[in-house]
A = this chain, B = another copy of it.
Amino acid sequence: MTLTLQQLNETSYSDALQSLEGLFEHSPWVMDRALSKRPFASLAQLKYVLATVVSTASSDEQLSLIRAHPELAGKAMVAKTLTSESTNEQNQAGLTQCTADEFNKIQKLNADYNAKFGWPFILAVRGPRGTGLSKAQIISTFERRLGYPADYELGECLRQIHRIAEIRLQDKFEQMPSLGIEVWDWHEQLAQFSDPVFKEAGQLTVTYLTEAHRACAALLMQQMQACGFDEVKIDAVGNVVGVYKSTDPDAKTLLTGSHYDTVLNGGKYDGRLGIYVPMMCVRELQKKALRLPFHLEVVGFAEEEGQRYKATFLGSGALTGDFNPAWLDQVDAEGISMRQAMRDAGLPATLEAIKGVQRDAKNYLAFVEVHIEQGPVLNELNLPLGVVTSINGSVRYLCKVQGMGSHAGTTPMNRRKDAAVATAEMILAIEHRAIKDADSVGTVGQLHVPSGSINVIPDACLFSIDLRAPVDTQRDAMEADIVSQLNAIAQKRGVSLKIDRILAVPAAPSDLKWQARWEDAIKGLGIPVHRMTSGAGHDAMKLHDLMPQAMLFVRGENAGISHNALESTTAHDMDLAVAAFQCMLKSLV
């Protein structure tokens, strides 16, 4: 019998407990504490409460919750008969149909894992779509997580337990995230296209105007048409533009979208989620023959990552009139100019045509963008969605500390000009200053003593700095403090410091009214509102120059890893993103 939220909220405590049988069955305290919070406004809220019960439990309770879980490896079995014909099918069949090699590998991983962490490996084997991971995916996840620090892996086990509970709740309530699953599948379809060398390696890479890129554009057009957009076209820079018209031809337009190109060996969701979520909303409106009091324009931006040409944000930039004419003559690694690439793609490749892409702000309400977070915050907070307050401004430096090399044994500590120690002090100063702001970040990603010897005091040390903050004045203040502190450290230690500022991008704070609309949409889903800055740049940063903008973030799995094949979110979270977009649209009617 299907459970409903109303039943769960209104029934007696013991019946409620009974109805949730099979969830946290070895650790009844979880359900016990969660049910004390009834009534729940939504399934999403119940899930969040369950997660909060666990995350606020004591370490001992968390550990015993994990340890109560059966060994995943205990389910591994060697298949009785294995023919080469049946192998492919069995790859989908979980751990009960292993080859002897796979079985041994799993047993070894399991032993190493238990020895390192002291608890069993936990994985929601139904995976992010809810329909099952392959043996290969299970084994590679096992291998990867074996390398994690213990405290992080403990958190990951708890998150996997939540994911298992989420799927069991879906079954009990028969609330399939069906729009989310469709959006998931659209991503899979689009991910079939990848630039040749990468495709062969099983990697996803779609760079500007390659064959794969044009195939993506063609598929997006098709999909938009199937969704019921009234106008669908590819513009002069390769953006795929779909318009779902209002009944009022003079109405303004709400602009949304994100990019469909990728970095080299990137993820399937970075950018594309922001095209597909509003497309699904149009599909649902059209299904019900509903029209909005404004036009809804969804753009799949052709170029955001700057991988084939150094022309980052070309797609969204073209809408703001920010197209650098010199780009047309820029050549890619194979010597093909952008002009030629455009012509090969059937685009006019003239500045006049590109100029025509520019939008007139007075026709637009705003730009809103959905994007996968690309960071660990929502995943760690057990929140499926978050609201962006600002896209951080950033500045980058390449630095060199020059000291004096000398013998590590014969040079007293007080007579050294050690480039590495000076750099170490600088790195801590950068961290210390960035922490002070709460929402600024500072990173030294490159660090290197050239030709370092164990018994020689480093004469030089090279490093990079990346500073970001949600507001330019905040970034500028941090930058000024850090540059002055670094110089002071150099002077104090008698070393010289060369710093080259190689990049500076201004911040793009969200429009407060549109940000509030996202917040209301999230509240409407029964989920707590989490406000956060975007550390990475997005197309909204370009549109910011032209109109109000605000972004919605969707949780990423695996600590929010992005620009990586491991980038992932779940069908459930995609479903909530569609629901949030729908709420937001509804609030404008």
Contacts and interface: CB of A to CB of B under 8 A. Distances in A.
A149 interface: yes
Contact of A407 (B402, B407, B411, B535): B535
Contacts of A406: 375-376, 559-561
Contact of A409 (B392, B410, B415, B461): B392
A535 B410 contact: yes
Q: For this complex, into which size category does the number of interface residues on chain A fall?
A: 35 or more
Given A152-B404, A375-B407, A560-B406, A461 B447 contact: yes
Given A375-B411, A408-B466, A536-B409, A418 B443 contact: yes
Contact of A447 (B425, B440, B452, B563): B452
A563 B410 CA distance: 12
A428 B425 CA distance: 7
Interface in A335-367: none
Nearest to A397: B454
A391 to B, nearest CB: 9
A424 interface: yes
B149 A417 contact: yes
Interface in A403-461: 403-404, 406-415, 417-418, 420-421, 423-425, 427-428, 431, 434-435, 439-449, 452-458, 461
A562 interface: yes
A408 B458 contact: no
A265 to B, nearest CB: 13
A576 B398 CA distance: 49
A454 B447 contact: no
A213 interface: no
A47 B358 CA distance: 80
A32 interface: no
Interface in A489-547: 494-496, 534-537
Given A409-B535, A424-B424, 7 more contacts: A408-B441, A413-B435, A418-B431, A423-B424, A446-B449, A446-B453, A447-B452
29 contacts: A148-B404, A149-B402, A151-B494, A152-B404, A374-B409, A374-B410, A375-B406, A375-B409, A377-B410, A392-B409, A404-B559, A409-B441, A409-B536, A412-B439, A413-B431, A413-B434, A413-B442, A420-B444, A420-B447, A425-B428, A428-B428, A445-B457, A446-B449, A446-B452, A446-B453, A446-B454, A447-B447, A447-B449, A455-B466
Interface of A: 147-149, 151-152, 373-377, 380, 392, 394, 396, 398, 402-404, 406-415, 417-418, 420-421, 423-425, 427-428, 431, 434-435, 439-449, 452-458, 461, 464, 466, 468, 494-496, 534-537, 559-563
